[in-house]
Structure 1
Amino acid sequence: MNNEMEMIIFNIINYAGTAKGLAYEALNEAEKGNFDKIPELMKEADQNLLEAHKVQTSIIQAEARGEKPEVSVLFVHAQDQLMTAMESKTLIESLIRMHKKIDGVK
């Protein structure tokens, strides 16, 4: 695997991990009743997911052009991190809505 591909993979992992961490931070704020901090945390999580998705899309586009990326365990790990970050964020959004409902916040 070349250095460029490694950097691409590590960017996906970094953005996905940051997004998931921010979403969990937002959930922690919901658990404390600090609902005013949540929108900014979730917006930042979305921005990180968008960046990860852009990087992933560049790999897909390269493959569509006939370039065959090397599929390594690290690449599979990056894809797994992105998918779990996206799913975690979706679930966390639901949990935050439940906390708001329980606390009577609209």
Structure 2
Amino acid sequence: MIEDFENQDVIMGLIISGGNSKGASFEAIKAAKTGDFTKADAKLKEADQFLTEAHNSQTQMLTNEANGIHAKMSLLMVHAQDHVMNAITFRDLAGEIVDLYRSTRK
């Protein structure tokens, strides 16, 4: 049963990291909208750090899978992966929006 608790910790970590990354990306857009590109760049960097945390968790899960330690698939696991994928997409889009705001301020 300890594996279930570890699995739940990883799942919750993915959800939290994805949510935090998306939140920081949104804050970057809001900062760029007001012309605060220093803050926008810092928030994008913060979003990247949260995505790195999620990526590290995914890498550990993949390593475990390769070593025969299979994660239990559940709707919650799928939900967590969905959060991460959406956060990655949102971060990429936020970077483009920040750049767009930056180019209109010149």
* TM-score above 0.5, yes or no: yes
* Residue 91 (structure 2) aligns with: 89
Q: Output the amino acid matched with 1:38.
A: A
Cα distance in structure 2, aligned partners of 1:47 and 1:41: 10
The Cα offsets for residues 7-58 of structure 1, whole Å up to 9 and x where unpaired, read as 1100011111101100100000011111121121111111110011001111
Unaligned runs of 5+ in 2: none
* Residue 77 (structure 1) aligns with: 79
Q: Percent identity?
A: 35
Q: Output the amino acid matched with 1:40.
A: A
Q: 28, 35, 38: which is aligned to 1:36?
A: 38
Aligned residues: CA RMSD: 1.0
* Residue 55 (structure 1) aligns with: 57
Q: Output the amino acid matched with 1:101.
A: S
Q: Output the amino acid matched with 1:27.
A: I
Q: Quote how far apart the aligned CAs of 1:95 are.
A: 0.8
The Cα offsets for residues 41-90 of structure 1, whole Å up to 9 and x where unpaired, read as 11111111001100111111111101111110000011000011001000
Cα distance in structure 2, aligned partners of 1:67 and 1:36: 44
Cα distance in structure 1, aligned partners of 2:91 and 2:39: 16
Unaligned runs of 5+ in 1: none
Cα distance in structure 2, aligned partners of 1:94 and 1:43: 14
Count of residues in correspondence between the two structures: 104
Q: Output the amino acid matched with 1:90.
A: D
* Residue 19 (structure 1) aligns with: 21
* Residue 10 (structure 2) aligns with: 8
